Amino acid sequence: MGAMALNRRHFTLTVMAGVPTALLASSIQRLLVLGDSLSAEYGLSRGSGWVALLEQRLAAENRGWQVVNASISGETTAGGKSRLGALLKAHQPAVVVIELGGNDALRGLSLDSTRQNLQAMISASQQSGARVLLLGMQVPPNYGPDYSRQFSDMFAQLAQKNQVRRVPFFLQGLTEGAEIHQWFQADRIHPNAQAQPRLLDNVWPELKKLL
Give the CATH number, domain containing residue 151: 3.40.50.1110
Q: How many CB atoms lie within 10 A of CB 118?
A: 23
Residues 191, 193: Cα–Cα separation, whole Å: 7
How far apart CA 91 and CA 31 sit, in angstroms, is 9
Average pLDDT, the chain: 88
Number of domains in the chain: 1
Class of residue 1 by CB neighbours under 10 A (exposed 0-12, middle 13-18, buried 19+): exposed
Q: Tens digit of pLDDT for each residue in 152-210?
A: 999 999 999 999 999 999 999 998 765 778 999 999 999 999 999 999 999 999 999 99
From 45, 113, 52, 42, select the one nearest 80 (Cα to Cα): 113
Contact 66, 55 (CB under 8 A): no
Q: What domain range is 175 assigned to?
A: 3-210
pTM value is: 0.87
Residues with a known catalytic role: 37, 187, 190
